[in-house]
Structure 1
Amino acid sequence: MTGVTGVTGFDPDRVKCVVWDLDGTLWDEIAVESPTDYLPTPRPEMLAVIDALAARGVLSSLASRSAPAVLDRLTAVPELRERFLAPQVSWQDKSESLRRIAKDLGIAVEALVLVDDSPYERAEVEALLPGVRTLAPEDVPALLAAFEGREVTPESRERVNRYRTEETRRALGERFQGTREEFLRWCEMRLTLGAAVPDEVPRALELAARTHRLNSSGLSPERLRALAASDGHELYTARMADRFGAYGIIGAALVDRSTPGTWSVPLLALSCRVAGRGAAAAFLFWLMERARDAGAEEFRVTLRPTDANLEMRILLRQAGLRRTEDTGDAGAESAVLARTLHGDLPKPPDWLHVSTRESTRESARKDAEA
């Protein structure tokens, strides 16, 4: 198997989580052979890299072929437990552990990188999960170097904490006595939409580069930056919060208003963390309403179908958008979907409170004056 091992050609924008082996990787010894209940001492340089990655918004998890009791011992150590999300320690194949980690985190398995000292384990993952990059421990400095010099947004710095909040949210959802819709309503979900301000642009570029499941066109950050700064284009962002806390900026949309009577959306992108909660639909429907209020008669979205963005494609179809003969800006494989803005437009789910940034500011001003 070639093309996945090592850091050559490494694209850090695709990496959301690094999965670490334990024995011979995170520490030198074999934990299950320890004569006591104490864990081997982790390598300080590995912990430093894990912390440096977390500061850049990259999650860490564990996949070790060992006795499950090792995980119990590890989670009893706060400084280790807090570094790893969705850890897997069992005798199952590493490829299966990685699938479970991706599922638990709600990300594509291709967004994982495995660091493992065993050539056999790396080969097993490469064979069964060919989209996953695998590295040996000696590749770790180059892994970290690949992220150097990249802009770090506030959402990136808070990503690990927000995934931990998501673990709490998911656990409560599993125990909730009621329907999924009732749980979402109980969460008191709030979506705030508006034109992007300058300090939100880096996050919009990050969403363009790092989202795949809820990304309409795969427009590159460089192209997005250029279009957003050009005449006739507007960039919008979406923030989300619920009773557990703030998600931060979870969505970005670029609107092209250069054609009279038409609003075109070259990019609609949302974080996979909000998949299944109605945020993508609410953002799209709000853009349609805003377009109609501005006098537009037609609404268009550029779509580049991929294996990952089926959910976005279904949403666009449910919103009444149909393919035209036009070719989109994102490349030869993209198309434009369009619909009229006459008649009834779809509404966001009723469990999601949607407001504009302007109305939120006005409400806050009135509260301050009261």
Structure 2
Amino acid sequence: MLKLIIWDLDDTLWSGTLADGEAVQLHRHRAELVRAFNARGVVSSICSKNDHATAEAKLRELGLWDEFVFPHIAFTPKPEAIRAIIADMQLRPADVLFVDDNPANLREVAHAIPEIQLLEITLSDADDHLAGLLALTPPSKSRVERYRMMERRKADRAAVPALSNHEFLRSCGLQATAPYLMDNLDFAPRIADLINRSNQLNYTGSRVEQARLEADIIDVVRFDSWSIFAWDAYGRHGLVGFVMVDRAAEKLVHFTFSCRIMHMGLEAYALSKVREKWPAIDTSAWDGRFDRTEPDWIVDADFHDPQVRAAILAEQAPQLLAEPAVRIMFDCQSGGIAHYSRFRPAIEFDHHPRVFAMAMMDDGSWHDQDFPPFLVYGAAVDYLGGRWGDRWPLVDIGLYETCLVRMLIMLIEQERRMLVVLPPEDAPEGKYRLTHNLSPERCRRLNALWRKAARENPEHLWVLDVADIAGPDEMADVTHLHAGALRKIAGQVDCWIEAVALGGGEGQAEAA
């Protein structure tokens, strides 16, 4: 996959020879190609035999200097210069195109770097070839600023040759965070792009369709997943890695990183996250491919820290509203429903430890929760005994009903509206979590309380039965639904929002 174009200047980017004092004329269509490739994530560099100061001044005059990264402008052999550019940018030669007007230069580079792509710009179809490459390049974010950060880092590293790499990294203030499970759904397009573009640091050699990736992230019963974000004194590196483990096979499905973070210890950081849950997972096939030293120079930042999370979402999902109008309180399933909703920008969703639990209505901790005007609550998870601590024996003898009444009082006093999603009552026995006191009988008993409350409070409470829209084959168990079922729930949530929040009709509480 093309990631870098290295341009000659004289008689390539412009006509004429700058070093001979000629009045060079810019090929404007090629300048526009540089900008267009940048906009699609393919960056440009320069390898030209010229005086650096003179060439830089001309490029600044033309408004092009800032479009290039890692320029090499000097009267030195081009093969060595291009090899250095590729190494500094931590790319593979196969992902690089060198454009020059001189066949001798192209032959020298081809001999020294056989894997590199070459284009003789004097050929009649050369510009058409570049236009075709642009057309085949999928839309992506500009990576110019990220490579600028690498340039600054390289310059600072060269200034302190006595320091080891680890010592230099300790001076950089490197921080990283690892969003887990459905918190990754907002980053799915970028994750898919990273997996499909990465070669050198794609340790599993995987490729993925975005829809398949989203479904796998949602399938929290089968897969664990982490995305890796990093930042340091040089700036924000953005999404730099993604890891997914198949729980049943105890095998890494994806272990992929951006080449921009090579030698920074972020692979070891990600592996430490995996080993917290899967200490025996086998990575022996990658021995020697990255430094396994414990990266004590990386500060592990908590993604649930409001400032950390806000900064990443502002960068990766700027469409999200700062003050959401809807909250999905469906425990670990919340992100899937939010992801499939048409109203995603207005939705905040729960994810451990950012969760609501019905037991909060018992101990008073609900006062610390933020409840926007419209709430969607998945009741099933709070039917589990483990959600109530040592109070679980009281759930069926009045405690749950007391908490439900307190929830209803909160809805009325704060003028909130809530859709409660109820679990099936007649699913196959294997779909219930009997060892956690979640039985069909408990579902019937507690579901009935919600239906009664909805009938008596039609201005504040609505119910939706999962059994009406999804069958047993669409769930791992009644607390873990597959992507198709979550998509159906999201569709019903959207209809409810339209009816209740947007005045698209009268929301009706179900009559039991």
- Normalised TM-score (structure 1): 0.72
User: Offset at 1:362?
Assistant: 9.2
Q: Secondary structure at the match of 1:146?
A: helix
Name the CA distance, whole Å, in 2 between partners of 1:73 and 1:363.
Answer: 41
Q: What corresponds to 1:192 in structure 2?
A: 177
User: Offset at 1:227?
Assistant: 5.8
Q: Secondary structure at the match of 1:240?
A: strand
Contact persistence 2:196–2:207 (CA under 8 A): yes
Q: What corresponds to 1:299 in structure 2?
A: 281
Name the CA distance, whole Å, in 1 between partners of 2:156 and 2:49.
Answer: 29
Q: What corresponds to 1:129 in structure 2?
A: 113
Closer, same or farther in 2 for the Cα pair 1:91/1:175, shift >3 Å? closer
Q: What corresponds to 2:294 in structure 1?
A: 348
Q: What amino acid does structure 2 have at the position aligned with 1:181?
A: H
Name the CA distance, whole Å, in 1 between partners of 2:42 and 2:308.
Answer: 36
Q: 1:357 aligns with which of 291, 303, 316?
A: 303
Closer, same or farther in 2 for the Cα pair 1:86/1:250, shift >3 Å? same
Q: Secondary structure at the match of 2:301?
A: strand
Q: Identity rate of aligned residues, in percent?
A: 26
User: Offset at 1:48?
Assistant: 0.3
Using the TM superposition, name which of 125-134 and 62-71 deviates more. 62-71
Q: Which has the larger radius of gyration?
A: 2
Residue 192 of structure 2 is aligned to residue 214 of structure 1: no
Q: Secondary structure at the match of 1:82?
A: helix
Name the CA distance, whole Å, in 1 between partners of 2:297 and 2:53.
Answer: 41
More helix by share: 2
Contact persistence 1:240–1:249 (CA under 8 A): yes
User: Offset at 1:301?
Assistant: 4.4
User: Offset at 1:18?
Assistant: 0.2
Q: What amino acid does structure 1 have at the position aligned with 2:297?
A: W
Q: What corresponds to 2:453 in structure 1?
A: none
Closer, same or farther in 2 for the Cα pair 1:140/1:192, shift >3 Å? farther
User: Offset at 1:177?
Assistant: 8.8
User: Offset at 1:228?
Assistant: 5.6
Q: 1:264 aligns with which of 232, 236, 251?
A: 251
Q: 2:28 aligns with which of 14, 38, 44?
A: 44
Q: What corresponds to 1:226 in structure 2?
A: 212
Contact persistence 2:174–2:230 (CA under 8 A): yes
Name the CA distance, whole Å, in 2 between partners of 1:63 and 1:46.
Answer: 16
Name the CA distance, whole Å, in 2 between partners of 1:90 and 1:178.
Answer: 27
User: Offset at 1:95?
Assistant: 1.9
Name the CA distance, whole Å, in 2 between partners of 1:85 and 1:361.
Answer: 31
User: Offset at 1:251?
Assistant: 0.2
User: Offset at 1:19?
Assistant: 0.6
Q: What corresponds to 2:18 in structure 1?
A: 31
Q: 1:167 aligns with which of 136, 146, 151?
A: 151
Q: What amino acid does structure 1 have at the position aligned with 2:268?
A: A
Residue 235 of structure 2 is aligned to residue 245 of structure 1: yes
Residue 7 of structure 2 is aligned to residue 20 of structure 1: yes
Closer, same or farther in 2 for the Cα pair 1:40/1:217, shift >3 Å? same
More strand by share: 1
User: Offset at 1:24?
Assistant: 1.3
Q: 1:254 aligns with which of 232, 244, 254?
A: 244
User: Offset at 1:55?
Assistant: 0.5
Q: What amino acid does structure 2 have at the position aligned with 1:355?
A: A
Residue 44 of structure 2 is aligned to residue 60 of structure 1: yes
Q: What amino acid does structure 2 have at the position aligned with 1:350?
A: D
User: Offset at 1:31?
Assistant: 1.3
Name the CA distance, whole Å, in 1 between partners of 2:306 and 2:261.
Answer: 21
Contact persistence 1:94–1:125 (CA under 8 A): yes
Contact persistence 1:54–1:160 (CA under 8 A): yes
Name the CA distance, whole Å, in 1 between partners of 2:251 and 2:284.
Answer: 8
Structure 1: state its 5+ residue gaps.
1-13, 293-297, 304-311, 320-346
User: Offset at 1:357?
Assistant: 2.1
1:20-79 superposed Cα distances (whole Å, 9 cap, x missing partner): 1111110111112225xxx62321111100000000111111112345564454466482
Q: 1:285 aligns with which of 259, 272, 282?
A: 272
Contact persistence 1:216–1:313 (CA under 8 A): no
Q: What amino acid does structure 1 have at the position aligned with 2:105?
A: E
Aligned length: 303
Contact persistence 1:107–1:272 (CA under 8 A): yes
- Normalised TM-score (structure 2): 0.53
Contact persistence 1:266–1:301 (CA under 8 A): no
Closer, same or farther in 2 for the Cα pair 1:126/1:149, shift >3 Å? closer
Contact persistence 1:250–1:271 (CA under 8 A): yes
Q: What corresponds to 2:189 in structure 1?
A: 202
Report the aligned-residue RMSD: 3.1
Q: Secondary structure at the match of 2:33?
A: helix
User: Offset at 1:244?
Assistant: 2.4
Closer, same or farther in 2 for the Cα pair 1:235/1:225, shift >3 Å? farther
Name the CA distance, whole Å, in 2 between partners of 1:363 and 1:94.
Answer: 45
Q: What amino acid does structure 1 have at the position aligned with 2:281?
A: F
After superposition, where does 1:65-144 map in structure 2 within 5 Å?
Answer: 65-68=49-52, 70-71=54-55, 73-74=57-58, 77=61, 79-137=63-121, 138-144=125-131
Contact persistence 2:185–2:214 (CA under 8 A): no
